[in-house]
């Protein structure tokens, strides 16, 4: 709406204010209502959206008042929330875009301009779920790693300048892995693919790689068929080409959407994962549109959407149907949430890493019973958390069942944005606007703290560094107690923690020779130290801390004993890049932590053999030797058969224990090592401060990530750019396509609204019990070869190898309808055992659910579903209501529904009905094989009481009462129109 029209028509136009640069905004503070200053900041964001979008229909003035009266209305009032944008990934986004394309066809049939169909809410669609790993990197150690500082002649890792790939080992100690026998294909063709070249064709010269990549030349990329090396850039390109070939129809459709629809931005393949792109490119923090500035907010169809709350942007995940509704201009309906204030106090222990803090806060919140509520962080401790810390905590929402974990904008956030693609002008606008509407937080004055539903206080000083071991991941040991605990383990009887070492053997020491020098091993001596980042990729601070510790240790004159098997296995090349960019990688290398490859290595026992002298000494003294790693698995004997005590630790602690050479150490009282000059160096002397780590993180990681992403966005994807797509207003559906198909939602669309049709003589398609989840209903995962969907694809002359997944075929309603209720875990009482089968009642035949529904539709018989408690629980899925609709289901009668699913059903024209309190299918003695008739009045009202007539050979005239679960006027409107999609189409017609 233009600004002039807004001033004239808007009920809250008197709240419009102006910033210094002339930009207008709605200022809730001009309400002069003392309640505003006491609202949680997340509720203030919701209130601003309600004020700005108040139109008297979707958002009413009473909704604004309910937000203001949050303290009294929380958990009571139903309120609308119009977010600023929608985030889709390709698997969940394609059904929404297919529906919009089909709606254009429906408008053309009624003589309406198809260009009227566009998302009302700005929509970003990221293509990131299509890539499959057809070509990948070797994840195996090719050469034994000698540990700290050995020379080339002593078996040090190969130089990165070597142009000859190392033999590819199938396991530690084995010989080179040979290509499989038989077959006429060869490696080494153009682009590193399997074509007509030979396996002996050399990979691209390492000299062509950038410096950061040269570090990892000893872990070559492999042809998946012959396990021979091919170059990294060529392999990545080949995987992209495979993605394009496999998903060409879908990608062409997405490209058509990006051109045909307004308000749709498609981020093509090979730019980044949806959560990364959302955080680093799409995040606006504040929008400026139609002369107005307002807060960014988002609903997304990806489970990582909550990460955005760490940047002060309110957002959470929704199902495909909800996202589609928002795209079409409908607000999100929610019960005004309770907001739990999480007050962070105290100072973080210097040895505590970001991962310790994140997991500690997650544990506290998991125990606090905050399911379905908002969490908002405040208190002086918040400023100690970096933005990556905050986004990681926000991403853990599913772990503690919160809807969002919101971190308001503060100085830490502004400092972070200064390292990103935000211009100085944008930063000034952001700061001035947030302060003007009281959405900016400082934590010095407790008088500014909002009123919360409940306050949970967390002392950051309570988070202390832990390790896990010596035999199981769940056995946590505080680092400060490590020495005492290890001695206890030595003495305890053999069990989960004990080794039962005889008292006279506790002080055993065994000398041995290694590389011409004599060393000694004792109980607790470290022989394996592996820094693995696979569990720490989302938060780089711990890897940087390890690198900074290595730098300080080397500069202090410390080293790692050369017999310790050290290694560095980054989870991704990005980790190597930021370690190299920050300048700490050479120091890790000097301590023996060389990059050995990408993938699971030490965690799964892929450790190179220990030096012979070390293994002999352990066996000779029957020693409890130790390994320390930063992975997630370390069961006894897994790292190496003679290493019986293994501990999981953070990456910097792995480096610290490697320098100490033992786990039998009290870091507070005993030195980490002694310099050649005889100076004792303690862990506290070389441990990096949080400020050092955070500064390096912002300067190297954050800025480089943004630069790389911006470069990818600007450069674009050549394959995507060259992809042809139609230049039409209406999508030209290909009748042969098995990926994109025009859905049937608009086939019988009439211009006038028809009154709800009564349901006459319906059969039950399914008779279900309690806790039927969305996983049971909506198709997901691979397509079984014996499923109804497989039969359809086989009829289209596809082989099982070409089936792909339900996720990839969400744009084909024929596949998805056949996959509805196709879960092997579905327990249908008609059948008596789990599986995707049901009873076709008239014939008594047992059929696939789809085949039974199809036969019922041919016979003109309407369908219902009988169910127990909590029908539709679980995470939202886009086909959880679309599938039953296309199967012909008219109503579902259950003891109770998950509230969100209840709304989804109404959005697809399916009536959710609940048994009366105390009644169930069993108490009513229903077999499910009866015929059911439900008379619907023309003026159906909210919560209408209805009667279900039951007809069976044994009982005539039987009936029972149900309640129509229609709780809002919008739900009622949707149901009267036959669903959300027909409603929106009719408003345009």
The CA distance from 328 to 399, in Å, is: 31
At residue 393, does pLDDT exceed 70?
A: yes
Q: What is the pTM of this model?
A: 0.78
In the prediction, which pLDDT does 8 show?
64
Q: Is 938 exposed, middle or buried (0-12, 13-18, 19+ CB in 10 A)?
A: exposed
Token duo for residue 826: 């579905």
In the prediction, which pLDDT does 598 show?
64
Q: What is the DSSP letter of 569?
A: E
For the ranges 589-598, 715-724, 921-930, the maximum mean pLDDT occurs at 921-930
At residue 586, does pLDDT exceed 70?
A: yes
Q: Give the DSSP letter string of 724-780.
A: -----SS----TT-SS----GGGTT--SSPPPPPPEEEEEEEEEB-S--BHHHHS--
At residue 688, does pLDDT exceed 90?
A: yes
**842 φ/ψ angles, rounded to the nearest 5 degrees:** -60, -35
Q: Tell me the per-residue pLDDT of 178-209, one tens digit each, with 9 for 90 and over.
A: 333 233 333 333 323 333 233 333 333 333 33
Indicate the Cα dihedral angle 384, 387, 393, 397, nearest 10°: 140
Contact 836, 846 (CB under 8 A): no
* Residue bearing the bigger pLDDT, 700 or 59: 59
Q: What is the DSSP letter of 494?
A: S
> Bridge partners of 773?
873
Contact 194, 186 (CB under 8 A): yes
Q: Is the peptide bond before 971 cis (omega within 30 degrees of 0)?
A: no
At residue 457, does pLDDT exceed 80?
A: yes
In the prediction, which pLDDT does 922 show?
95
- Coil, helix or strand for 286? strand
Cβ density class 274-299: b for 16+ within 10 Å, e for less = bbbbbbbbbbbbbeeeeebbbbbbbb
> Bridge partners of 458?
344
Q: Tell me the per-residue pLDDT of 424-438, one tens digit each, with 9 for 90 and over.
A: 999 999 999 999 999
At residue 482, does pLDDT exceed 80?
A: yes
In the prediction, which pLDDT does 246 show?
67
* Residue bearing the bigger pLDDT, 562 or 573: 562
Contact 774, 320 (CB under 8 A): no
* Residue bearing the bigger pLDDT, 210 or 446: 446
> Bridge partners of 455?
341
In the prediction, which pLDDT does 193 show?
31
Give the residue-averaged pLDDT of 766-781: 91
How many other CB atoms are there within 10 angstroms of residue 361's CB atom? 25
* Residue bearing the bigger pLDDT, 652 or 3: 652
* Residue bearing the bigger pLDDT, 312 or 218: 312
- Name, in order, each residue with C-beta under 8 angstroms of 177's C-beta and a sequence gap of 6 or more: 167, 168, 169, 170, 227
Q: Tell me the per-residue pLDDT of 814-846, one tens digit each, with 9 for 90 and over.
A: 999 999 999 989 999 999 899 899 999 999 999
The CA distance from 618 to 417, in Å, is: 53
Q: Distances in Å between the alpha carbon of 732 and those of 97, 115, 247, 740, 815?
A: 14, 15, 17, 10, 20
In the prediction, which pLDDT does 199 show?
35
- The continuous run of DSSP H or E covering 527 comes out as strand 526-532
Contact 299, 269 (CB under 8 A): no
Instruction: Find the length of the chain.
Output: 989
Q: Which residue has the tokens 């019973």?
A: 369
How many other CB atoms are there within 10 angstroms of residue 179's CB atom? 15
Please compute Rg for the chain using Cα positions: 31
At residue 401, does pLDDT exceed 70?
A: yes
**Lowest mean pLDDT across 482-496, 658-672, 770-784:** 770-784
- Coil, helix or strand for 119? coil
In the prediction, which pLDDT does 717 show?
67
In the prediction, which pLDDT does 203 show?
33
Rounded to the nearest integer, the mean pLDDT of the chain is 83
Give the residue-averaged pLDDT of 37-66: 96
Q: Tell me the per-residue pLDDT of 341-363, one tens digit each, with 9 for 90 and over.
A: 999 999 999 889 888 898 889 88
Q: How confident is the model at residue 912 (pLDDT cuts 50, 70, 90)?
A: very high
Q: Tell me the per-residue pLDDT of 87-126, one tens digit each, with 9 for 90 and over.
A: 998 888 889 999 999 999 999 999 999 999 999 999 999 8
Q: Is 229 exposed, middle or buried (0-12, 13-18, 19+ CB in 10 A)?
A: buried
The CA distance from 529 to 220, in Å, is: 23
Contact 196, 189 (CB under 8 A): yes
Give the residue-averaged pLDDT of 290-307: 90
**Lowest mean pLDDT across 188-197, 917-926, 931-940:** 188-197
In the prediction, which pLDDT does 477 show?
93
* Residue bearing the bigger pLDDT, 874 or 36: 36
Q: Give the DSSP letter string of 55-85.
A: -SSSS-HHHHHHHHTHHHHTTT-EEEE--SE
At residue 640, does pLDDT exceed 60?
A: no
Q: Distances in Å between the alpha carbon of 357 and those of 510, 690, 942?
A: 40, 12, 47
Cα 501-502-505 angle, rounded to 5 deg: 90
In the prediction, which pLDDT does 223 show?
35
Cβ density class 962-984: b for 16+ within 10 Å, e for less = bebbbbeebbbebbbbbbbbbbb
The CA distance from 6 to 460, in Å, is: 47
Give the residue-averaged pLDDT of 243-269: 86
In the prediction, which pLDDT does 444 show?
84
Q: How confident is the model at residue 855 (pLDDT cuts 50, 70, 90)?
A: very high
How many other CB atoms are there within 10 angstroms of residue 10's CB atom? 18
């Amino acid at each position: 709406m233009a600004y002039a029209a807004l001033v004239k028509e808007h009920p809250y136009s008197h709240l419009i204010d102006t910033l210094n640069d002339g930009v207008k905004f709605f200022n809730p503070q001009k309400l002069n209502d003392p309640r505003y200053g006491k609202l949680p900041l997340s509720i203030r964001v919701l209130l601003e959206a309600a004020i700005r979008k108040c139109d008297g229909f979707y958002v009413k003035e009473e909704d604004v008042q309910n937000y203001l009266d949050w303290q009294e209305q929380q958990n009571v009032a139903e309120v609308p929330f119009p977010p600023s944008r929608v985030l889709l990934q390709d698997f969940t986004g394609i059904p929404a875009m297919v529906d919009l394309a089909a709606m254009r066809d429906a408008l053309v049939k009624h003589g309406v301009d198809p260009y009227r169909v566009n998302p009302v809410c700005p929509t970003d669609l990221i293509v990131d779920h299509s890539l499959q790993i057809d070509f990948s990197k070797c994840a195996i150690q090719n050469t034994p790693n000698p540990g700290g500082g050995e020379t080339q002649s002593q078996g040090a890792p190969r130089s990165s300048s070597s142009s000859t790939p190392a033999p590819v080992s199938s396991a530690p100690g084995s010989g080179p892995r040979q290509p499989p026998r038989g077959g006429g294909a060869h490696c080494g063709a153009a682009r590193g693919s399997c074509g007509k070249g030979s396996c002996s064709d050399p990979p691209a010269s390492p000299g062509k790689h950038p410096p950061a990549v040269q570090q990892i030349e000893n872990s070559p990329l492999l042809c998946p068929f012959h396990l021979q090396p091919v170059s990294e850039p060529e392999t990545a390109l080949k995987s992209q080409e495979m993605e394009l070939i496999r998903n060409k129809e879908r990608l062409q459709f997405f490209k058509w959407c990006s051109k045909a629809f307004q308000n749709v931005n498609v981020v093509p393949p090979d730019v980044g994962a949806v959560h990364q792109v959302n955080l680093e490119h799409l995040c606006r923090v504040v929008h400026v549109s139609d002369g107005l500035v307002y807060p960014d907010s988002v609903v997304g169809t990806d489970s990582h959407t909550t990460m955005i709350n760490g940047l002060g942007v309110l957002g959470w995940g929704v199902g495909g149907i909800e996202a589609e509704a928002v795209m079409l201009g409908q607000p999100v309906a929610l019960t005004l949430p309770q907001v739990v204030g999480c007050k962070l106090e105290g100072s973080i222990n210097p040895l505590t890493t970001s991962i310790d803090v994140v997991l500690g806060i997650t544990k506290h919140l998991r125990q606090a019973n905050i399911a379905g509520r908002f969490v908002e962080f405040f208190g002086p401790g918040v400023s100690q958390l970096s933005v990556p810390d905050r986004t990681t905590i926000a991403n853990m929402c599913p772990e503690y069942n919160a809807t969002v974990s919101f971190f308001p904008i503060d100085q830490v956030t502004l400092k972070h944005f200064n390292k990103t693609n935000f211009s100085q002008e944008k930063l000034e606008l952001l700061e001035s606007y947030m302060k003007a509407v009281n959405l900016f937080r400082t934590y010095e004055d407790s008088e500014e703290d909002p009123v919360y539903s409940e306050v949970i206080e967390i002392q950051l000083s309570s988070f202390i560094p832990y390790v896990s071991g010596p035999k199981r991941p769940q056995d946590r040991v505080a680092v400060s107690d490590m020495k005492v605990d290890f001695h206890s383990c030595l003495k305890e009887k053999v069990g989960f923690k004990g080794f039962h070492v005889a008292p006279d053997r506790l002080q055993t020491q065994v000398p041995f020779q290694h590389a011409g020098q004599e060393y000694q091993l004792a109980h607790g001596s470290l022989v394996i130290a592996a820094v693995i980042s696979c569990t720490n990729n989302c938060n780089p601070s711990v890897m940087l801390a390890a690198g900074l510790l290595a730098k300080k240790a080397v500069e202090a004159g410390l080293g790692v004993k050369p017999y310790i098997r050290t290694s560095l296995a980054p989870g991704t090349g990005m980790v190597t890049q930021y370690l190299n960019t920050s300048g700490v990688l050479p120091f890790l290398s000097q301590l023996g932590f060389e990059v050995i490859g990408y993938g699971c290595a030490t965690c799964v026992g892929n450790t190179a053999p220990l030096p012979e002298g070390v293994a002999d000494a352990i066996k000779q003294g029957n020693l409890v030797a130790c390994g320390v790693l930063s992975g997630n698995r370390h069961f006894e004997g897994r790292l190496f058969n003679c290493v019986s005590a293994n501990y999981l630790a953070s990456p910097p602690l792995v480096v610290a224990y490697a320098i100490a050479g033992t786990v039998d150490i009290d870091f507070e009282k005993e030195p980490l090592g002694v310099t050649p000059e005889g100076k004792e160096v303690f862990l506290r002397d070389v441990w990096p401060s949080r400020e050092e780590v955070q500064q390096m993180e912002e300067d190297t990681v954050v800025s480089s990530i943004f630069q790389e992403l911006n470069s990818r966005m600007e450069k674009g994807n050549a394959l995507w750019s060259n992809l042809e797509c139609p230049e039409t207003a209406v999508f030209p559906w290909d009748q042969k396509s098995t990926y994109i198909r025009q859905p049937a939602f608009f086939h019988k669309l009439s211009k006038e609204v028809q009154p709800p049709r009564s349901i006459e003589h319906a059969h039950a398609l399914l008779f279900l019990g309690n806790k039927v989840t969305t996983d049971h209903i909506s198709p997901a995962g691979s397509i079984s070869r014996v499923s109804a969907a497989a039969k359809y694809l086989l009829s289209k002359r596809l082989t099982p190898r070409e089936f792909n997944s339900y996720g990839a075929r969400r744009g084909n309603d024929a596949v998805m309808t056949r996959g509805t209720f196709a879960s092997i875990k579905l327990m249908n009482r008609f059948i008596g055992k789990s599986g995707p089968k049901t009873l076709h009642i008239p014939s008594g035949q047992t059929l696939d659910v789809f085949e039974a529904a199809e036969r019922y539709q041919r016979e003109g018989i309407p369908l219902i579903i009988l169910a127990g408690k909590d029908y539709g629980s679980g995470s939202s899925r886009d086909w959880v209501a679309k599938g039953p609709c296309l199967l012909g289901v008219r109503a579902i009668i259950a003891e109770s529904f998950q509230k969100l699913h209840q709304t989804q059903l109404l959005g697809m024209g399916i009536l959710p009905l609940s048994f009366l309190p105390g009644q169930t299918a069993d108490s009513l003695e229903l077999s499910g094989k009866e015929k059911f008739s439900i008379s619907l009045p023309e003026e159906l009202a909210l919560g209408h009481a209805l009667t279900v007539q039951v007809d069976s050979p044994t009982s005539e005239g039987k009936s029972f009462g149900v309640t129509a679960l229609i709780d809002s006027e919008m739900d009622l409107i949707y149901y009267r129109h036959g669903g959300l999609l027909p409603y929106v189409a009719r408003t345009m017609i």
